[in-house]
Structure 1
Amino acid sequence: MNAVPAGSEQEERAELDELARLLPSGPVEQVLPPGRRSHHKDVLMQLIDHDHARDRDHARDHARDRERSGAGSPVRSRPWLARPALVAGSVAVAVALAAGLTVGIGAGRGDGGTAARPGASSTADGTAGGSRGAVVTLDRIAAVALRTDVEPVGDGQFVYVRSRGAGNEGVFDGPVELGKMHERQVWFSQRQGPVTDVGLIREYGQDWPIEIGVPDGTDPEDAAVPAGFDRPTYAWLASLPTDPDALLKLLYADTRVEEGEDKDQEVFGRIGDLVGEQIMPPETAAAFYKATARIPGVTEVADAVDAVGRHGIAIAREDTRYGTRTEWIFDPGTLGYLGVRTVFSRDTERAPAGTVYDTSAVLERAVVDKSGQEPGARRRVERG
């Protein structure tokens, strides 16, 4: 890379071009639900910006030291993209996003964050978990889920979800601009064994394979991902404990966060991903909802609107770091799942309170036999 003045527009453009060359050519974010997709995009960009600023600080300090020692004119440190460790880390995050994995930026560094008491049961007033209203509503939702007939999904089949939504398309860290509403279809492979071909997304008029990135020189079998929280299948979900305390303990143990991040919020988000875009046994769904009632900070919102204008009650949790609130929206009559949205819970530099950051409405869930196959009436399952 040619040397250019540190911090110049040319340097930033060169770095962006280099990053674009290294990252996958497909839409690396599209597999995640809108709220999680936007969150991980922001986290990745914050890491890049933080590292870029750190390099400039190092260059400034190094130049000052050289001037003080009479070593001559300042020299600039290497461009941050030239450091293999950062390049590998950035690509790893992007590949994880492309694969639809739940990215814990602090993975491998220990628990970090603010750990809750996952084994504690909620009391009637919600002191050990969510608010009283949320606990009562989640118990009702769990009861409905437990009574719902769900067709088991075979190992060679695919879970199909059709939704409609939009996300923030404004500049990074700038004012929020909600994009155009559009339809999204996704097919998730149900193969239990480790796979690199996870599924398919149909969005913006194109089909995008969901694949695990295989680094050069790596055996694809070594890069394959088995069924688990990061690649759930019906059979794997059926193997989870249906005791809410045991399930929540497992979730907290499997969730890694960066130091200072809110672990309760991350666990809430992971459960939201599962109930929002999967098909699971009734007992498992009920356990997830009851487990959610035990997460501190979970509340109920009396009226929320999904991406297609349907009103419902919401189970929500606020991320106080960003001033946003994630809401799972349920039909007020049937208590079936409608969708999810993220709104600003307070005024910020990016948007006033009440601004929608992203929104998605589930229109259909089904079981199909092939990737890319749209469901027929025979395999259509309940919506929500």
Structure 2
Amino acid sequence: MNATPAGSEQEERAELARLLPAGPVERGLPPGLHSHHKDVLMQLIDREDDVRSPAGARRFSRPVLLAASVAVAVAATLTVGLASGRQEPGGHPGATAPATAGRGAVVTLDRIAAVALRGDVQPVKDGQFVYVRTRIAENEADWGQPLKPGALHDRETWFSQDQKPLIEYGMTRENGDDFPIRILVPEGSAGEPAGIDRPTYTWLASLPTDPGALLKRLYAETPVEGEEDHDQAVFDRIGELVQEQIMPSATAAAIYRATARIPGVTEVDDAVDAAGRHGIAIAREDTKMGLRTEWIFDPDSLEYLGARTVLSRDSAMGKAGTVFDTRAVLERAVVDRRGDEPSGKPKSGSGDGSGSRDGSAQS
């Protein structure tokens, strides 16, 4: 398993030849478009990187997420904290620069974007729910301690698509229990409207489809705290959108092309999701935390499969390459009620998530 950053011109041209085969992925392109993409990508190979990522700072999001998962088990609720003090990207290189990812990643992301753009996505109505069934395994040890892999299991999640402010906007079903998904808001608040902290299909459809403008928007609306790496925070936020939402095809294509402009993004030639499926991955290393996040795609169809996080260096937690957490998206659909499965038949858990409550997104 090798991450592929930018290399020599000869190596990059060989990489381009490998990544642009005549095959199923190329079918359906309008006449001349395939040649256009090849010309653009060859120009990318000749372009010098004119932007460098600033020195990374230590991120604290991973330990916070681990603490949140413990809180879920204890309090039987999922809580998402609203961060304050959002920063404008200003002259941040990731917001306005041309592609700065490794050349292999740039080419692959362009191909993934082309596939996404051809997708036939039906709009999701405001009163509906996006349903996602995921197979996951997470680290159960405290941060900094030797990794303790959790058991593989399936998780079902329902996300409300309402645009209005909500405090409770979905539900997770895991190990037979139902947990409401709530967002933490100030006392007396009506809740959080649709936006980057509570994405919906309609909100995603409102985003710019120009990759540069979209990336600038994502940097501006993705909060960071302390010395957190802003590039990594945006990469992680995009990963959440890709994994957990349904979005218009034009938005999906723009998101993948915007990702190619984030400094430090590379390609991994072989990665395995939680369902055991092999694929190619778009990755970024958080050098301060010693973790590499990988989005995994089918090597033939370029459809999204899942994601995983691995240790990027030897540490007290384990050897480099050890899986920190892993997930695979098994099913994604639109349903009319929280708790409904794609078949339309409700399947009750042992929790109380099937009932309506104050601030609920239940329709």
TM-score (norm 1): 0.68
Q: Is the 8 A contact 2:89 2:220 kept in 1?
A: no
Map 1:221-232 to 2 at 5 A: 222-232=189-199
Q: 1:213 offset after TM fit, Å?
A: 4.3
RMSD between aligned alpha carbons?
2.7
What's the CA shift string for 1:124-147, capped at 9, x where partnerless? xxxxx1000000000000000000
Structure 1 residues 270 and 289, CA, compared in 2 at 3 Å: closer, same or farther?
same
What's the CA shift string for 1:241-287, capped at 9, x where partnerless? 00000000001111222332211000000000001110000000000
Q: 1:114 offset after TM fit, Å?
A: 10
Q: 1:184: which partner in 2? A: 155
Give the number of the structure whose residues are more often helix, by fraction: 1
SS at match of 1:139: helix
Q: 2:224: which partner in 1? A: 257
Q: 1:81: which partner in 2? A: none
2-side partners of 1:377 and 1:303: how far apart?
36
Q: Is the 8 A contact 1:313 1:329 kept in 2?
A: yes
2:300 equivalent among 298, 309, 333: 333
Segments of structure 2 that go 5 or more residues without pairing to the other structure are 1-58, 346-363
Q: 1:305: which partner in 2? A: 272
Q: Is the 8 A contact 1:142 1:285 kept in 2?
A: yes
2-side partners of 1:160 and 1:45: how far apart?
24
Q: Is the 8 A contact 2:137 2:153 kept in 1?
A: yes
Q: 1:226 offset after TM fit, Å?
A: 0.2
Amino acid at match of 1:161: V
Map 1:69-88 to 2 at 5 A: none
Q: 2:93: which partner in 1? A: 116
2-side partners of 1:189 and 1:365: how far apart?
14
Q: 1:119 offset after TM fit, Å?
A: 1.1
Amino acid at match of 1:270: R
SS at match of 2:95: coil
Q: 1:39 offset after TM fit, Å?
A: 6.5
Structure 1 residues 110 and 235, CA, compared in 2 at 3 Å: closer, same or farther?
closer
Q: 2:168: which partner in 1? A: 197
Map 1:209-358 to 2 at 5 A: 209-213=180-184, 218-219=187-188, 222-358=189-325
TM-score (norm 2): 0.72
Q: 1:195 offset after TM fit, Å?
A: 1.1
Structure 1 residues 289 and 370, CA, compared in 2 at 3 Å: closer, same or farther?
same
What's the CA shift string for 1:185-226, capped at 9, x where partnerless? 0000000111122001000210111123466xx33xx24100
Q: Is the 8 A contact 2:86 2:222 kept in 1?
A: no
Q: 1:98: which partner in 2? A: 78
Q: Is the 8 A contact 2:86 2:220 kept in 1?
A: no
Q: 1:207: which partner in 2? A: 178
Segments of structure 1 that go 5 or more residues without pairing to the other structure are 1-37, 47-90, 123-128, 379-384
Q: 1:45 offset after TM fit, Å?
A: 8.1
2:63 equivalent among 42, 57, 68: 42
1-side partners of 2:333 and 2:60: how far apart?
27
Amino acid at match of 1:336: E
Structure 1 residues 259 and 114, CA, compared in 2 at 3 Å: closer, same or farther?
farther
2-side partners of 1:112 and 1:172: how far apart?
30
2-side partners of 1:165 and 1:318: how far apart?
21
1-side partners of 2:297 and 2:161: how far apart?
26
Q: Is the 8 A contact 1:299 1:315 kept in 2?
A: yes
Q: 1:345 offset after TM fit, Å?
A: 1.2
1:143 equivalent among 114, 118, 134: 114
Q: Is the 8 A contact 1:316 1:325 kept in 2?
A: yes
2-side partners of 1:109 and 1:295: how far apart?
19
2-side partners of 1:285 and 1:130: how far apart?
18
Structure 1 residues 372 and 292, CA, compared in 2 at 3 Å: closer, same or farther?
same
Q: 1:375: which partner in 2? A: 342
Structure 1 residues 201 and 377, CA, compared in 2 at 3 Å: closer, same or farther?
closer
Q: Is the 8 A contact 1:306 1:359 kept in 2?
A: yes
Amino acid at match of 1:121: P
Q: Is the 8 A contact 2:137 2:325 kept in 1?
A: yes
Q: 2:24: which partner in 1? A: none
Amino acid at match of 1:119: T
1:164 equivalent among 112, 117, 135: 135
2-side partners of 1:200 and 1:370: how far apart?
11
